[in-house]
Amino acid sequence: MITELGAVVDKVRGATVPAVALRPEDFLLPATRQFMAKVRSRLREGRGFVVLNGLPVREWAGAGSTLAYWLLSGLVARPVAQKLDGTLVSDVHDTGLQATPGSGVRPDKTSIEQYFHNDNAYNRGQPEFVGLLCLQSAVEGGRSGVASIRAVHNDLLRQHPAALARLYQPFLFDRQKEHAAGEPGAVSAPIFASDKGELKMRMGLYRLLNAYRLPGKRARRGRRAGHRTAQGSAGRSWPVPQLHDGSGRHPVCEQPGHLPSPHCVHRSSGA
Give dist(CA 187, CA 210) in Å, integer: 12
Q: pLDDT at position 80, please?
A: 87
pLDDT at residue 270, rounded to an integer: 60
Q: Could you tell me if 130 and 268 are in contact, meaning their C-beta atoms sit under 8 angstroms apart?
A: yes
Which CATH code is given to the segment(s) 2-270?
3.60.130.10
Phi, psi of 54 (to 5 degrees): 95, 10
| pTM score of the predicted model | 0.77
In the chain, which stretches have pLDDT less than 70? 141-142, 216-271
User: What is the residue-wise DSSP string for 101-141?
Assistant: TTS---GGGSSSPPPSB-TTTTSS---SBEEEEEEE--SS-
Rounded Cα–Cα distance for residues 171 and 188 (Å): 5
Closest CA to 186 of 221, 220, 223, 214: 214
pLDDT attached to residue 69: 92
Q: Domain extents for the chain?
A: 2-270
pLDDT given for residue 73 in this prediction = 93
The two counts, helices (H) then strands (E), for the chain are 7, 12
